[in-house]
Structure 1
Amino acid sequence: MLLDHLVGLYTHPKQEWHTIDEKHEGIGASLSHLLIVAILPPVCAYISSVFIGWQIGVGDPIFLTAGSAIFMAIGMYIALVSGVFALGYLTYWMSRTFGSEPEYTQCFEVAVYTATPLFMSALGAFYPHIWFLMMVGLVGLSFSVYLLYTGVPILMHIPEDRGFIYASSVVTCGLVLLVTIMASSVILWNFGFGPQFVS
């Protein structure tokens, strides 16, 4: 069933990781989970930037044109899905260094399910004030990191002490991917693909 593990990851993460490890439903289940959950940030960003307006400090809200917002939402969706695939591959690539021999499916599951709280924090965009979004994003990121540290030893079948170092390496790779995506966005904006604001 789609989004089968969503509630369990929030209510009892360690038990849910064991369930994911026992079932190993295959890449199809993880991919469908990713494709559904990754649509939240672009949709929320589109709605808030076109219909609600972003509040930055004092002054009037800032709106984007519908065409510009849809273009950016599509780009965001592609970047999020690609980023999770890349994180899964980097997790797989590093696995032998830490004494684990997983299949790519296991690494992809780690990447997909740990990214879920971060993607879900996009619901905060319905109250688009910078300070609020930063707080919600920080909570989502913190829970994603927690899921990563609890899930890596279970899915990779390694001791917790080695899993801690492995998960720390995955976090580092995730930060590098995030910076790469942000840098790519800035480069694209310089080539004329930036946002267009409602005047």
Structure 2
Amino acid sequence: MDKLIDKVKRILFTPKTAWDDIKAEESTQTSIIKDYLLYLVAIPIVANFIGQAIIGYPLRGDRVNFFRGLIWAVFAYVLYQVSLYVSAMVVNALAPQFESTKNSVAAFKLVAYSSTAALVAGVVAILPSIAPLAILGLIYTIYLFYLGLPVLMETPKEKVVPYTVVSILAIIIISAVIMGIAGAILA
């Protein structure tokens, strides 16, 4: 657990050097999921479950049904990981369009580790009234992605901004589609 916390701190507080370390790491998509994402993805999911099903909105006096919230949490946990995997596939597929090196493991590292800020910021979902503050984590996630692109995907300087913009738009669409499907299934 100490290695996980150390990696989170390095990514959040010293991202420029963290990306070089991440590039040098011998890891696979499976090891990143097992050693990192399984824990970090749980943060916003558990916080949201507690916030929606247990705490609720005190001023409005409503909460999500406990068991419905639990089912949604399990579903969201799995689908979040699927979303990251599909997003990495798209980022990798886009690489040649931006004169970048195509590498599926590097793309997965980029998507997984740049999402750290959003995942950690998801803890604010425990209090539904302040949950919108998680947007700050999303903004920092985009910045982390931007910093990691030239390191992991070897993107030329002049292609980093357009590659970032196109990738983030694709990731938003992927996430919306996957969560939309989940919402339709659980409705």
Write the deviation string for residues 117-137 of structure 1: whole angstroms up to 9, x where unpaired: 1111221022221xx211x22
The partner residue of 1:49 within 47, 52, 61 is 52
Q: Which runs of 4+ in 1 moved over 3 A?
A: 1-4
CA-based RMSD of the aligned residues comes to: 1.7
Task: Work out whether 1:171 is the aligned partner of 2:152.
Answer: no
Counterparts of 2:57 and 2:102, CA distance in 1: 43
Write the deviation string for residues 15-71 of structure 1: whole angstroms up to 9, x where unpaired: 11111112243334321211111111221122222221135xx432x1222211110
CA contact (8 A) 1:88 1:104 kept: yes
Query: Which residue of the partner structure matches residue 40 of structure 2?
Result: 37
Long gaps (5+) in structure 2: none
The partner residue of 1:5 within 7, 14, 20 is 7
User: How far off is 1:142 after superposition?
Assistant: 0.4
> Identity, % of aligned pairs?
19
CA contact (8 A) 2:53 2:63 kept: yes
CA contact (8 A) 2:12 2:116 kept: no
Query: Which residue of the partner structure matches residue 108 of structure 1?
Result: 108
SS at match of 2:136: helix
Query: Which residue of the partner structure matches residue 133 of structure 1?
Result: 131
Query: Which residue of the partner structure matches residue 20 of structure 1?
Result: 22
The partner residue of 2:143 within 142, 146, 154 is 146
Closer, same or farther: CA 17–142 of 1 in aligned 2, 3 Å: same
Long gaps (5+) in structure 1: 195-199
Which has the larger displacement, 140-149 or 44-53? 44-53
CA contact (8 A) 1:8 1:16 kept: yes
Query: Which residue of the partner structure matches residue 158 of structure 1?
Result: 155
How many residues are paired up?
Answer: 184
Closer, same or farther: CA 21–164 of 1 in aligned 2, 3 Å: same
For 1:161, the aligned partner's letter is E
CA contact (8 A) 2:45 2:73 kept: yes
Please give the TM-score of this superposition, normalised by the length of structure 1.
0.85
Please give the TM-score of this superposition, normalised by the length of structure 2.
0.90
Query: Which residue of the partner structure matches residue 197 of structure 1?
Result: none
For 1:177, the aligned partner's letter is I
User: How far off is 1:4 after superposition?
Assistant: 4.6
For 2:46, the aligned partner's letter is V
Between Structure 1 and Structure 2, which shows a larger proportion of helix residues? 2
User: How far off is 1:11 after superposition?
Assistant: 0.9
Task: Work out whether 1:180 is the aligned partner of 2:180.
Answer: no
Counterparts of 1:110 and 1:21, CA distance in 2: 9
For 1:12, the aligned partner's letter is T
